[in-house]
């Protein structure tokens, strides 16, 4: 700790919750603050590493089971979307899919991203026609983060004379362009 400016700094060497007390003292006295610092893995993982977390070696080798476009739990969410959105390819729930949400009098297009999913780009988009070339990138705002899962939102217009369609485009950054 820098005693001049109070800056705490360092490099974590292990995952876990670390508890400590910070004490501040001046001419008026002193005060203590109990702090719990959660450190978790931040290194991005690849899609094959993601599969290895959830699948047996036999399942990983099965082309009908482990390919990015497969959906072994039949929840309507492909393995690659589970990877990007922080789901489980064997979990059987479509709750990781983007959705329209309402809160505090506003309506949002909301989606989540797993920050551990490496090598991808996630972009929310809107179109009025669904035609190729009609999609426009949107600018999301980070709403919350729990562990490695970030929830992003785009505020939707209150009213509109035309239909609007929303999607999240996920790009593999290693794929040829």
Q: What is the CATH number of the domain that holds 138?
A: 2.60.40
Q: How many CB atoms lie within 10 A of CB 168?
A: 20
pLDDT of 7 reads 65
Domain count, the chain: 1
* Helical ranges in 44-113 per DSSP H: 47-54, 57-61, 79-85
- Can you give the residue range of the structural domain that contains 159? 47-172
In a domain, 103, yes or no: yes
In a domain, 31, yes or no: no
At 126-146, the pLDDT tens digits run: 999 999 999 999 999 999 999
In a domain, 36, yes or no: no
DSSP classification of residue 157:
P
Q: How many CB atoms lie within 10 A of CB 136?
A: 9
In a domain, 11, yes or no: no
Structure tokens at 48: 């094959």
Closest CA to 60 of 33, 90, 35: 90
Tell me the percentage of the chain whose pLDDT exceeds 70.
87
Q: How many CB atoms lie within 10 A of CB 68?
A: 14
In a domain, 80, yes or no: yes
Q: Bigger pLDDT: 103 or 71?
A: 71
At 10-64, the pLDDT tens digits run: 666 667 778 888 888 889 999 988 887 777 656 688 999 999 999 999 999 998 8
pTM: 0.70
pLDDT of 87 reads 93
Cβ(86)–Cβ(148) under 8 Å?
yes
Q: Bigger pLDDT: 9 or 176?
A: 9
């Amino acid at each position: 700790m820098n005693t001049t400016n109070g800056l705490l700094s360092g490099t974590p060497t292990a995952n876990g919750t670390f508890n400590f007390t910070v004490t501040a003292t001046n001419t008026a006295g002193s005060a203590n603050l109990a702090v719990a610092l959660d450190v978790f893995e931040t290194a991005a993982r690849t899609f094959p590493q993601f599969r290895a977390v959830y699948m047996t070696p036999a399942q990983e080798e099965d082309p009908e089971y482990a390919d990015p476009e497969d959906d072994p739990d039949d929840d309507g969410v492909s393995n690659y979307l589970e990877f990007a959105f922080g789901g489980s390819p064997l979990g059987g729930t479509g709750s990781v899919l983007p959705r329209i949400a309402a809160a505090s009098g506003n309506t949002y297009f909301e989606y989540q991203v797993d920050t551990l999913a490496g090598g991808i780009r996630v972009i929310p988009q809107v179109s009025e026609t669904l035609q190729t070339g009609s999609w426009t990138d949107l600018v999301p705002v980070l709403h919350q983060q729990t562990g490695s899962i970030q929830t992003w939102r785009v505020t939707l217009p209150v009213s509109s004379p035309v239909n609007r369609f929303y999607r999240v485009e996920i790009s593999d950054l290693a794929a040829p362009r």
